[in-house]
């Protein structure tokens, strides 16, 4: 792993990158949307982690990151951002 980077931060960056890349393939039209999609996905993942959102399911949380909730909130923000005229 990268020195000095916490596992939760690394996982959040990976989740945001994967969500933003897939959203750009499915919803994007221009290359300039990719950084905007990445920022929206990262904010969504960070909100889920920071607020401690958890569904009442016994899902694993690697490094304390609620993966399902982070991905769902990231996609919610990605859909909102993709509907904006950027």
Q: What is the pLDDT of residues 43-52, one digit of tens each?
A: 999 999 999 8
pLDDT per position in the chain (86 positions), as tens? 567 888 999 999 999 999 999 999 998 889 999 999 999 999 999 999 999 888 888 888 999 999 999 999 999 999 999 998 65
Look-up of token digits 């690697």: 62
pLDDT for 17 equals 97
Q: How many CB atoms lie under 10 A from the CB of residue 11?
A: 19
Q: How many CA atoms lie within 13 A of 40 on its CB side?
A: 25
Alpha-carbon distance 77 to 57, whole Å?
Answer: 23
Look-up of token digits 């960070």: 46
pLDDT for 5 equals 82
Domain boundaries, the chain: 9-83
Q: How far is C-alpha 42 from the geometric centre of its chain's CA atoms? A: 4
Q: Is the model's pTM score more than 0.85? A: yes
């Amino acid at each position: 792993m990268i020195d000095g980077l916490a596992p939760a931060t690394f996982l959040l960056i990976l989740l945001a990158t994967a969500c933003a890349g897939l959203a750009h393939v499915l919803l994007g039209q221009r290359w300039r949307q990719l950084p905007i999609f990445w920022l929206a996905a990262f904010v969504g993942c960070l909100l889920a982690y920071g607020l401690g959102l958890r569904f009442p399911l016994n899902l694993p949380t690697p490094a304390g990151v609620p993966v399902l909730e982070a991905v769902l909130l990231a996609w919610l923000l990605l859909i909102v951002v993709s509907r904006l005229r950027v």
